[in-house]
Structure 1
Amino acid sequence: MGNSSSRGRSKQGQRSGSKVTPSSPTGEQSKQATFKWSIDGFSSLLDKGEGWTYSRVFEAMGHNWYLKLNPRDKKSGSNKEYVSIRLELASRSVKPDTVVDASFKLMIYDQSFGKHSEHEVSHRFQTASTSSGASCMISCRKLKKRPSKFLDNNCCVFGVEFVKVTTSKANMTLETLFVKKTSIFNEAGTYTWDIEDFFALKNPGYSPEFQVGAYKWYITMYPSRDGNHLSLYLKLKKTTNLSKDTAYLVELTLSIKDQETGKHKKLTGRCQFAKDCRTWGWSKFITLEDFKDSANGYLVKTKCCIAAEVTIIGSSKME
């Protein structure tokens, strides 16, 4: 899936803003560019369990990036839980045959003693590999341990410090993402798209519009670029009511229903929708072979059923 704000914190969860420092002059490529992502209400994110949460897209060193965070990650063969972060280069920031070599530090900030958890990475980003792969991990136990101040007043601060990339533009952005408890957040809805004739769909196929919160959404579906998979996305309808500096954190589940046994194919993620980033989903949601296999119940004759569960669980603002 693809896509931020510094906010003053309070126990009541009041919003605050993000802070952007001016970018470095052209030619000063050696200057670091730093993006900080402060998550207020972090315990609410921990309660949601394993799964990736995405920051806003931010610009640094002439490219668009985002951080992704898993609050309950696990190493292979271990049940120990970690908080991990990774850096990804936004796919639209990479032109075909373009390679971006980047050196950077992934950070989990100790807000009291300055003993940050750091992981230095050098990675070659390109169209086929937009994720850094390597992640900065800290055990959930260490995160909560006192007197360490990784988790301070229910707030965690993550970030990336760029050392060098192939471009020259640099800036610093600070985001605070405030996550609200679902029980006190009423902007949720489920929409079911019943398709009578899958083979009559246009490419891409669009569902009717539906509303969750103050905005309208729709589902898009089409064969993936490799021709072997089905792509499935949720899209925010273009609107003039959404500020370019505001984004909403959405917990999203897309499903293709098994009409025979109820063993639906579903994927879940937490991602931010904004005016300049209105689409999130999966380019390889399911193989076309599995989708069309009548034994799986996803496509019965010409009929299929797609469902979207959408819950707005937070918001962010850039300044």
Structure 2
Amino acid sequence: MGSLAPDSTIMKNWRQHPPSSYSLKISKLSQLTLDKYESRWFLSGGYNWRLVIYPKGNEQDDGSGFISMYVEFDNTCLSSTSLMEVFAYLTFFVYNKKENKYFSLQDVEVKRFNALRTVWGLSQVLSLETFNDPKDGYMVEGEQCEFGVDVMIASPFTKWEVVSFDDKLSYPKFSWRVKDFSVLKENFYRSNNFSMGGRNWNQLLYPKGDSRADGKCLSIFLNLDGSETLKGDEKIYVRARLQVIDPRGSNLFTKSLNNWFTEKNKCWGIVEFLSLAKLREAYLDLEDTLTIETEFEVVSVTKYSA
């Protein structure tokens, strides 16, 4: 009917608070000659359940010599929902008048209830020798005893994210030819937009460096285009190589980019990418053109729940 849970998943404890889901009090338990007692259906977590007690143990579930306790799920509840199964944590209780507390056994392993498996429980809750001895406090005057259960629904997750790191990009390179470099007058220049990893990007070039470069170095940045709006904690991981192409093909100058792009930080790059002296010496072609290249190695793609 149920299953004998391994000891490693069972937590035994004492609790003063009564069961939250259902309590069952029985007088003159010995007069029950049938092997089990089933409570009425009770509502917990939006579903119907009932408590099943085997006062002499469930022999078919290795419960001989013990009190056996189970919870049965009313699987007709599933017909009114789109769910095919319900997950729940179970805690069983036996009241001890001597201690004025409830002896509890909590199965920390969540149980899956569905049309094929409607019953879960514990076959060895408490030994009959201990339970039936009035000195131990479980069976009191008039053979009165109390059992109980807490059924706590483990709600299916509704918030999630799935992230993948794409290292097989179809066209991983973007090249930008900046003409008449030596006579550029603007503080910075922006390349045309290009698509990579399902996002729109552009490059920013500061011919004399941004404010942190002291006019001595070239500054290059990769910028997530303004048309891309990231929500909340949404982020994009990029690993790439920013490169300046040697027109003679002998000395490719490269620096690595390894950053998370967010709504607050859409632009990452290298402030002191290359000294202007070295650039003029080796990286301008005969037509005064500078070629910048970004080679993407990895771009992350993340899907979020609504």
> TM-score surpassing 0.5?
no
Greater RCO, CA 8 A, separation 6+:
1
TM-score for both structures, normalised by structure 2: 0.41
TM-score for both structures, normalised by structure 1: 0.39
